[in-house]
Chains A and B, each alone.
Chain A
Amino acid sequence: MKAWQIGMVLAALLLLAGVPWYGSDVLVQFGINALLLAVLAQGWNIIGGYTGYASFGNSVFYGLGAYGVAIAMVQWQLPFGVGMVFGVVLAVVFAVLLGIPVLRLKGHYFAIATLALSQVMTAIVSNVGLAGQNIGLVLPPLNNDPLFYELSLGLLTVATLTIWGLTRSRFGFGLIAIRENEEGAAVMGVNTTLYKVLAFALSGVFSALAGGIHAYWITFLDPDSAFDISLNVKMIIMAVFGGPGTVLGPIVGALSLSAISEFLSSEVTSIAGLFFGLVIVAAVVLMPRGLADMIRRLRKTGWRYFSENIRAHRL
């Protein structure tokens, strides 16, 4: 990265960090949601974008993180920080235990297995007494939106720095090699199973932390909201819209799509949903490699960029 790029990123970070001081309460609340979604998109980026495994089950990590915090704080009267650690431990255990068999599956099969796991988890948690069954848990309220905002921003920063570190490390190269050609990676000495599980777990750690922050902020959670399956799709769309397998793409995707959808849903809710769907359809056809790729290439190729994308993938 060049000096001016680092400067730009730092300036953007400062601008974001200042929101609680100059922005409205509504903006801060929107910000918390958008930043946590960006963390989820970044978490997904590790397993989906860099390793090439399209997980539809990252909502499980989010839910485990949320329940980790809720159970620790409500049932055991432990501080929030301990709850976050508990949530992360749950997520890592899940990633390792289920990752080992499920990461053997490829392509659609992996996607479907993870989707099914996320359905199973909702149903299982609905039957666990400690987790409040399907009634849910109510956390002690903490009315401090600026704190939650800065926590979310901090988490997103750490997640992004981690990914940036990945792109220049041996581990990250191993993941990319797996994505590009798993067998080729193995014969070059990449321990593919270990790397995939590590990537899944790392992706789970960030998702769980996001879930933990969200639970404490919202102060209430039940299985349907904690393991919300549509969350999977949201984070994937945001990552893919921005540019999967890039350091900043998923953030751009998450923030821009959150803003658009917030703006539209303040008008008519169902129109916002409809628009969301149309954006996805159009994006897949016109810019299948995401905003990051589009911005990079549009300057060189101009409008031909879109027709070239279609020509490359049509029957």
Chain B
Amino acid sequence: MTALLEVRHATRIFDGLVAVDDVSFTLAPGEILGLIGPNGAGKTTLISLISGTLAPSEGEILFQDEVINRLPAFRRARLGIGRTFQIMRPFPGLSVLDNVAVGALFGRDGGQAKLAKAREQARVSLEFVGLGKDIDKRADELGGPGRKRLELAKALAMQPKVLLCDEVMAGLNHVEIEEVIEIIRKVRDQGISILVIEHVIKAIKSLSDRLLVLHHGEKIADGTPEAVLANPIVIEAYLGKKRA
């Protein structure tokens, strides 16, 4: 089976600083790929290159075998690439339901033209992430964990083929993390491929089919979670600091 998403030699330079350095990888249909690395390793930049909010300085990004790195962000969303933001960005003045309805109104293939149907679809996404009872709140009335789920629901309402999750578990407690892991597994069971950035190693190890490690913008490991986490280079670069 060919890859759904392929990143080839992606590089991004900010003011002379290399944030992402010649990174290549693939994401297969239905796969959950974990992306880990110390702070500042370039994880969020990499996601932004894929979702189109940043343009790669060099390299290519392919989605369903088409080069997409010249497409603006909204076109990529319409192809079926959904993302969440690490710094949560709900539409604060809108209700929780309408926040998610935006995803349904736009999203993959241009989404749903009718507001009533979009709201219906939004309600389903909100139920799915466990925010069913908060739909009438204003988005800025939700607490941190609620906003994480809202980010997920917004992206899911787009009916994406690929979901890029930027630290959807940060700041959550154990129970909440378990719940989010469960949600992500259920998303994958619908056939959606997932790229997930996470700091909680235990969570990502149990969730991911494969792990990718970035360090100073470079890919230093790619493989099964067990193999990657046993890799001395990874331990040195990433886990080593935590042990000390």
Direct contact of A and B (CB under 8 A): yes
Q: Which residues of A contact B (CB under 8 A)?
A: 168-170, 173-174, 176-177, 179-181, 183-193, 245
Residue contact B105 to A173, C-beta cutoff 8 Å? yes
* Bound-state Cα–Cα, A184 to B100, Å: 12
| B residues in contact with A184, CB < 8 Å | 85, 89-91
* Bound-state Cα–Cα, A186 to B82, Å: 11
- A-B CB pair tally, cutoff 8 Å: 83
Residue contact A177 to B102, C-beta cutoff 8 Å? yes
| B residues in contact with A183, CB < 8 Å | 53, 73, 89
Q: Judge whether B17 is part of the interface by a CB distance below 8 angstroms.
A: no
CB-CB nearest in chain B for A172: B115
CB-CB nearest in chain A for B85: A184
Residue contact A170 to B115, C-beta cutoff 8 Å? yes
Residue contact A174 to B106, C-beta cutoff 8 Å? yes
* Bound-state Cα–Cα, A168 to B117, Å: 12
Known: A173-B98, A176-B91, A181-B89. A187 touches B77 (CB 8 A): yes
| B residues in contact with A185, CB < 8 Å | 102
| B residues in contact with A186, CB < 8 Å | 52-53, 72-74, 77
* Bound-state Cα–Cα, A193 to B83, Å: 20
Contact digits for B10-54, partner A, Cβ 8 Å, 1 yes 0 no: 000000000000000000000000000000000000000001110
Residue contact B72 to A173, C-beta cutoff 8 Å? no
* Bound-state Cα–Cα, A48 to B105, Å: 22
Residue contact A174 to B89, C-beta cutoff 8 Å? no
Known: A176-B93, A186-B53, A186-B72. A170 touches B113 (CB 8 A): yes
Residue contact B53 to A173, C-beta cutoff 8 Å? no
Residue contact A188 to B115, C-beta cutoff 8 Å? no
Residue contact B53 to A188, C-beta cutoff 8 Å? no
Nearest first, the 6 A-B pairs at minimum CB distance are: A189-B106, A180-B91, A189-B77, A186-B73, A184-B89, A170-B105
CB-CB nearest in chain B for A289: B93
* Bound-state Cα–Cα, A188 to B111, Å: 10
Near A by CB (< 8 A), chain B positions 89-145 give 89-94, 98, 101-103, 105-108, 110-113, 115, 118
Q: Which residues of B contact A (CB under 8 A)?
A: 51-53, 72-74, 76-78, 82-83, 85, 89-94, 98, 101-103, 105-108, 110-113, 115, 118, 154-155, 158
Known: A177-B102, A180-B94, A184-B85. A190 touches B74 (CB 8 A): yes
Of A173, A174, A176, A188, which is within 8 A of B77 by CB? A188
| B residues in contact with A169, CB < 8 Å | 115
Q: List 6 extra interface pairs beyond A176-B91, A187-B73, A191-B74, CB under 8 A.
A: A170-B111, A179-B93, A183-B53, A184-B85, A188-B154, A189-B158
30 residue pairs of the A-B complex, CB under 8 angstroms, read A168-B115, A170-B105, A170-B113, A170-B118, A173-B102, A174-B102, A174-B105, A174-B106, A176-B94, A176-B102, A177-B102, A180-B94, A181-B89, A181-B90, A181-B91, A183-B53, A186-B52, A186-B73, A186-B77, A187-B51, A187-B53, A188-B74, A188-B82, A188-B103, A188-B106, A188-B154, A189-B106, A189-B108, A189-B110, A245-B93
* Bound-state Cα–Cα, A185 to B112, Å: 15
* Bound-state Cα–Cα, A309 to B77, Å: 38
| A residues in contact with B112, CB < 8 Å | 170
| A residues in contact with B115, CB < 8 Å | 168-170, 173
B10 → A minimal CB distance (Å): 18
| A residues in contact with B92, CB < 8 Å | 180
CB-CB nearest in chain B for A167: B115
B129 → A minimal CB distance (Å): 16
B43 → A minimal CB distance (Å): 16
* Bound-state Cα–Cα, A179 to B98, Å: 14
